[in-house]
Amino acid sequence: MRLISKYSKEDRLKYISHLDMMRTFHRAIRRATLQVAYSQGFNPHPKLAFASALSVGLTSEGEYLDTIMDNYIDPEEFSTRLNAVLPSGLRIIRSVKIDVKNPSLMSMIERASYSIFIPVAVKELAAQIAAFLDQPYVLVTSEKNDELKHINIRPMIHWAKPRLNDHSEQMVDVMLNSGSKSNLKPILFADALFRFLNEDSSTMNYKIHRLDMYLLRNDKFVTPLDLVEG
């Protein structure tokens, strides 16, 4: 049996690394006495996988855990038992059963949406974001294997929209490429946007929150929960 679980990672846990998150779920699975399938070989490990790693310092309400079970369990019971042992700040929102023949969730994810809190007042934000998106090139510098590369991230930005939160603070919601095929870290987008706005992001206490992830299914972008069987 294969389960996809959507979970949230709150502010108090935003500096927990990807590896520590995996260890946390391994411990929670054992404490909840859930019959997760194990790999074969010299060093068996639980068949758990994340859809996409969340960068340290970010919060989220749209993370996904991919789990292979040894036996049947009601998805709602799986969520309840895990939530009873997970630390404060981690919560399973919903679990669904999917076909085990689906490809790995990591390989299917193509986009992710984020909300970025802007701690400074920006005049005519909507017009400035429109001008930012009108650029054919948005160049950023990325370091990989000790080599600096200049990358045009504009094709990886699908849309960006300003809004006000419940406290009338300025936010920007954005949809970016995400996953194993093409991935744009939201911090690179945020830094490029703040440079365009003539704001120094290195001195700003801005926050990034992942809203959800998306995969292409029948020519439509849906969330992993939409893979539910039946």
Per residue in 63-78, pLDDT (tens digit) is 999 999 999 999 999 9
Judge if 67 and 155 occupy the same domain.
no
Q: Give the domain extent around 158.
A: 109-221
Judge if 177 and 206 occupy the same domain.
yes
One-letter amino acid of 224: P
Domain end position, chosen among 87, 107, 127 = 107
Residue 230 lies in a domain: no
Give the pLDDT score at 149.
85
Comparing 121 with 68, the larger pLDDT belongs to 68
- β-bridge partners, 9: 60, 90
Residue 228 lies in a domain: no
Look at residue 145 and tell me whether its pLDDT is greater than 90: no
**CB crowding 40-69: b at 16 or more within 10 Å, else e:** eeeeeebebebbbebeeebbbbbbbbbbbb
One-letter amino acid of 95: S
Judge if 130 and 206 occupy the same domain.
yes
Judge if 16 and 81 occupy the same domain.
yes
Domain end position, chosen among 43, 74, 107 = 107
Bridge pairing between strands 90-98 and 59-68? unpaired
Comparing 209 with 123, the larger pLDDT belongs to 209
Residue 229 lies in a domain: no
Q: DSSP states of 33-72 as a string?
A: T--B-B--SSS--B-EEESSPPPTT-EEEEEEEEEEBSS-
Tell me the CATH number at 152. 3.30.70
Residue 119 lies in a domain: yes
Judge if 28 and 125 occupy the same domain.
no
pLDDT confidence tier of residue 230, bands split at 50, 70 and 90: low
Tell me the CATH number at 103. 3.30.70.580
Judge if 123 and 205 occupy the same domain.
yes
Token output for 36: 């997760």
Judge if 46 and 145 occupy the same domain.
no
Beta-strand runs (E) in the chain: 2-9, 48-50, 59-68, 90-98, 109-117, 139-144, 147-152, 157-164, 170-177, 207-217, 220-222
Angle between helix axes 186-196 and 125-133 (nearest 10 degrees) is: 110
Judge if 140 and 74 occupy the same domain.
no
Judge if 120 and 103 occupy the same domain.
no
Give the pLDDT score at 90.
97
- Name the average pLDDT for the chain: 93
Residue 203 lies in a domain: yes
Domain end position, chosen among 46, 76, 107 = 107
Judge if 91 and 150 occupy the same domain.
no
Residue 226 lies in a domain: no
Comparing 180 with 95, the larger pLDDT belongs to 95
When divided into structural domains, the chain yields a total of 2
Residue 117 lies in a domain: yes
Judge if 31 and 73 occupy the same domain.
yes
Judge if 114 and 217 occupy the same domain.
yes
Give the mean pLDDT of 25-30. Answer: 94
User: pLDDT, tens digit, for every residue of 179-218?
Assistant: 988 999 999 999 999 999 998 887 788 899 999 999 999 9
Give the pLDDT score at 224.
97
